Amino acid sequence: MDASFLTSQELVRPWRRATFLAVAIAVVELIVIIGVGAKLLARPVAHVIQQEAVAVATPRPAAPQPKALRQAIRRAKAPAGKARPRGRVRIMVFNGNGRSGAAGAEATRLSHLGYKVAGATNASHQDYATSVVMYRPGYHAEGLRLAKDLGVRVVGPLDGIAVSALDGGQLAVVVGAR
């Protein structure tokens, strides 16, 4: 008999080549499918991204302000008006820096400038870094003038001090560390 028997290596070799060829074809098909899918999805996705970018970049109109807020802003920006004479303005002096006698010294200084001093006492807090001038409603101009007289940069309406604590005064000075 002249027939030779094939070894196991010879039987496996054609299947190995066929497997590699099948995998290579599958990889090429996968790449083609991904490419076609990306091309089909790219345009709609790009359109959505462009719309979102335009929406973010376009300024939106500001929400309307409530009437009370508009009036408060208008009052704050309004010119101070004419101030009453210094002799007709009463000031309460608060010591906000913790140094003994600071409020009394400031009250004496205010008296020399022609103001009436309603009193001098300690503030509820002793940690004010800078002096502050505060005014009751209707005394904005006087508050600005007092701040200018004292060289104080912080001026505003009463905040944190009750009107009853002013002892009949219209303005308050909190003496700070500077």
* DSSP single-letter state for residue 117: E
Alpha-carbon gap, residue 16 to 14, rounded angstroms:
5
Question: What would the two tokens of residue 37 be?
Answer: 């899918």
Range 160-170 average pLDDT: 89
* pLDDT single digits (tens) 21-73: 889 999 999 999 998 888 887 778 778 888 888 877 777 777 777 887 777 66
Domain boundaries, the chain: 1-61, 82-175
- Model confidence, pTM: 0.56
Identify the CA nearest to 129 among candidates 92, 105, 98, 172: 98
Q: Does the structure show a pLDDT above 90 at 133?
A: yes
State residue 10 phi and psi, 5-degree precision. -70, -30
Q: Tell me, what's the pLDDT at 177?
A: 86
Close Cβ partners of 176 (under 8 Å, ≥ 6 residues apart):
96, 97, 128, 129, 130, 131, 132
Question: What would the two tokens of residue 118 be?
Answer: 């309603």
Pick the CATH number of 82-175 from 3.30.1330, 3.30.70, 3.10.50, 3.40.50: 3.30.70
State residue 93 phi and psi, 5-degree precision. -110, 130
Q: Tell me, what's the pLDDT at 27?
A: 93
Alpha-carbon gap, residue 177 to 99, rounded angstroms:
9
Beta strands across the sheet bearing 154-157: 116-122, 90-95, 171-175, 132-135, 154-157
The answer to which of 36-50, 81-95, 99-113 has the lowest mean pLDDT is 36-50
* pLDDT single digits (tens) 4-30: 666 666 665 666 777 888 899 999 999
SS3 label, residue 30: helix
